[in-house]
Amino acid sequence: MPLITTEAIVLHAFDYRETSRIVRLITREMGIVSAIARGARRPRSKFGAALDLFAGGEAQVTTTMGRDLHTLTAFDATHARPALAAALDRFAAASAIAELLLRFAPEQEDAPLLAAATDALDALADAPAGGAAAVALAGAWCLVAELGFAPSLDECVACHRAIEADAMVGFHHRAGGALCSACAGEAPLARKVPPDARAMIRAWLGRLPTSPLDEPSVRAHQRLLREFLEEHLTDGGRPLRALAAWERHEVDA
C-alpha cells in the first residue's frame, strides 16, 4: 500500500459511521481522490478541524490498488480559508467551484489545475463584499480553460470565420462557443450573448481586471456557465446541483 504525500484541497466531506469522515480531495499527484479519514470525528482526532471544506494543505494518502476509496492517514492544513464559510455568497460560489472540479477534473496528476483551483478559491476568499459571484465566475472560466475546453469567443465554432468584437453572438454550448451571425441563423436554440458579456469572459480567461457586474448580469453569466458545463458532462448527466443552487441564490440568508 504505497503512501503518497501530496498538496491537496478538501472539496467535499461527509461523516461516515460513528467516528470517520470521507473526503474528496483535489491533489497534485493524483487529481481527484476519495479517502476515508478513520477516527476523524473522535474528540482528540489528529485531524482536528483540518478537514474543513476548502482547506488546503499536505495530505498523506495510503492508496490501495484497485480501490476507489483510499485512506487519508494525515492532513496538515496550511491554508484553512475560513472566509469561504463565513459568508453565504462566498460559500455558495466556492461550492460551485468545488462541484466543477469534482465533476470535470481527472483522476491523475495535474499540477496546473491544482494551481488554478488554489487561485480561484484564494481570490474568492479575498473577494470584496457583494463581489463574490464575479470573482467566482472568473475563477470558474479559468478552470474550464485549464481543463481544456475553453469556449471559442472570437472565431465561429461552426465555420471558423472571425467574429467582430461588437457583435451579438449565438452561443452554442455543445459546439463550444460563439457562432457568427450566418451560422447562428441555422441554430435558433443558441443562447444569445451580447458583446459586453463576451468581452467579460475574454477578460476572465485572460485573468485581466474587470469592472463589477450588476445582478442581472451575474445571473446571466451563471446560467451561461452552468449550461456550458452541462453540455460537457460525460458522467451521465447528473445535474450540477451546487451550480444551480448558486444561480438560484438558495443559500442566501
Longest dimension (CA), the chain: 66
CB-CB contact of 147 with 113 (8 Å): yes
Single out the residue of 125, 106, 145 nearest to residue 229, CA to CA.
145
Closest to Zn ion by CB, 119 vs 155, is: 155
Q: Radius of gyration of the chain from Cα atoms? A: 20
**Cα separation of 119 and 94, whole Å?**
12
Residue 157 Cβ, how far from Zn ion at the closest point, in Å?
Answer: 8
Among 8, 9, 96, 156, binds Zn ion (CB under 5 A): 156
Cβ neighbour number for residue 212 with a 10 Å cutoff? 11
Single out the residue of 38, 62, 40, 39 nearest to residue 51, CA to CA.
40
Residue 181 Cβ, how far from Zn ion at the closest point, in Å?
Answer: 8
Closest to Zn ion by CB, 103 vs 191, is: 191
Instruction: Look at residue 126 and give its three-state secondary structure.
Output: coil
Q: Name the one range near Zn ion by CB under 5 A: 4-12, 85-93, 182-190, 203-211.
A: 182-190
Cβ neighbour number for residue 216 with a 10 Å cutoff? 8
Among 144, 183, 201, 240, binds Zn ion (CB under 5 A): 183
Residue 185 Cβ, how far from Zn ion at the closest point, in Å?
Answer: 9
Closest to Zn ion by CB, 17 vs 160, is: 160
Q: Does 135 bind Zn ion (CB under 5 A)?
A: no
Q: Name the one range near Zn ion by CB under 5 A: 48-56, 63-71, 181-189, 193-201.
A: 181-189
Which residue has cell 475553453?
150
Among 8, 37, 114, 180, binds Zn ion (CB under 5 A): 180
Q: Name the one range near Zn ion by CB under 5 A: 8-16, 121-129, 180-188, 214-222.
A: 180-188
Give one DSSP letter per residue of 184-224, joined into a string.
HTT-TTSEEE-HHHHHHHHHHHTT-------HHHHHHHHHH
Q: Does 153 bind Zn ion (CB under 5 A)?
A: no
Q: Does 159 bind Zn ion (CB under 5 A)?
A: yes
Instruction: Look at residue 247 and give its three-state secondary structure.
Output: helix
Residue 252 Cβ, how far from Zn ion at the closest point, in Å?
Answer: 40
Q: Which residues bind to Zn ion, rule: CB under 5 A?
A: 156, 158-159, 180, 183
